[in-house]
Amino acid sequence: MSHRHVALLVEDDPVMAAEIADILTSIGHDLVHADSLEGGRALLAQGGLCYALLDLQIKHRPNSLKPDVIMGETLYREVRGQYPRRNAADAHLFQALIMSGFDKEHDAVVRMLRAGADAFIRKPLCENQIRIDVQIREALERSGRQRHARCAEISRAAGAAPPLPPAAAGLAPASRLGPRGDALPLHAEGQRRLVVLDRWSGGKCWVDVDGVPAGLSPKSFIMVARLAEARVFGKGIGWLYKTLLDKYADVGWKGMTRLYEQLRRAGVPPESLIENDRRGSFRARHEAAQIVIDLAALQQHEHEEVRRAFGSALKAA
């Protein structure tokens, strides 16, 4: 058995495949390569993999006429279906990084990030702010695979069937994506991590930004949770018009000002987390590399106002 990490690389452009293979070998990884959905499937079935790098635009079979993002999405979902489980830090135990020329496949990339893809690698590779080898190393760290010795064991754990969340029945399809809500990792533009916690203590609701807890009033917390929810589960890419935020904060523009003050007090520059289109809409920023929100837990939140805000949203969805 190899004592090096083994990547599944699915890429139909031979030049790009060679470029990536070069990088993988230079960091001491082995790889198996396929150029189609069918080929990727066969390698996935063989097992022995530590992580996957999946191009979106691939062919069905090697001799198919044209590549299509549908094939890439299908393969990603099959990878995720085979390795669905996450660790205690909410990271997939088997990381699947998707690759795309983003701009023309923007919708598909967003769909797959929503479906839990662990990182996004932009093509051409020189356009990534975070180098591909760094993204791979981080993905391996997230899944606890700093060393290959534990990979077989971790892959076994990754493959076990996840317990179905009790609240899954009757939720909107988007809310069924993951047992703990879902993560939206977008590494291309930054590194922030926002975790919406279901904790109520010291008279505050809590979020976690890059490992630093920030206590918010229930109203402000609901606004942050709404923005996170819109980013992870929403249609479009997370913009919420102020009235939607205000409806739940019921304090109009003051609500946003207060939220910004509370974030600042907690040491989080609000502009680093929230984007304002200057036309009345807000969203959680791209720079929030990963957003974790568990809607089912918010439904059970200790604070009644939070419970109500998210309980009614789920029913309406």
Residue ranges that bind Zn ion, judged by CB under 5 A: 5, 50, 148, 151
CB of 227 to Zn ion, least distance (A): 36
Whole-angstrom distance, CA of residue 205 vs CA of residue 159: 34
Pick the closer one to Zn ion by CB: 4 or 307: 4
CB of 151 to Zn ion, least distance (A): 3
297-303 contact pairs (CB < 8 A, 24+): 297/180, 297/181, 297/198, 298/196, 298/198, 298/225, 299/167, 300/198, 301/198, 301/200, 301/205, 302/198, 302/200, 303/200, 303/205, 303/218
Whole-angstrom distance, CA of residue 285 vs CA of residue 290: 10
Report whether 76 contacts 117 (CB < 8 A): yes
Whole-angstrom distance, CA of residue 35 vs CA of residue 33: 7
Pick the closer one to Zn ion by CB: 148 or 283: 148
CB of 112 to Zn ion, least distance (A): 23
CB of 116 to Zn ion, least distance (A): 20
Pick the closer one to Zn ion by CB: 117 or 140: 140
CB of 8 to Zn ion, least distance (A): 11
Tokens 């079979």, located at residue: 61
Pick the closer one to Zn ion by CB: 114 or 142: 142
Pick the closer one to Zn ion by CB: 44 or 151: 151
CB of 278 to Zn ion, least distance (A): 47
Pick the closer one to Zn ion by CB: 53 or 227: 53
Whole-angstrom distance, CA of residue 12 vs CA of residue 54: 10
Pick the closer one to Zn ion by CB: 152 or 317: 152
CB of 95 to Zn ion, least distance (A): 11
Residues 6+ apart with CB under 8 A from 229: 293, 295, 310, 313
Exposure of 42 in the CB half-sphere (CA atoms within 13 A): 11
Q: How far, CA to CA in Å, does 94 sit from each of 8, 25, 27?
A: 11, 20, 19
Strand, coil or helix: what is 107?
helix
Report whether 49 contacts 158 (CB < 8 A): no
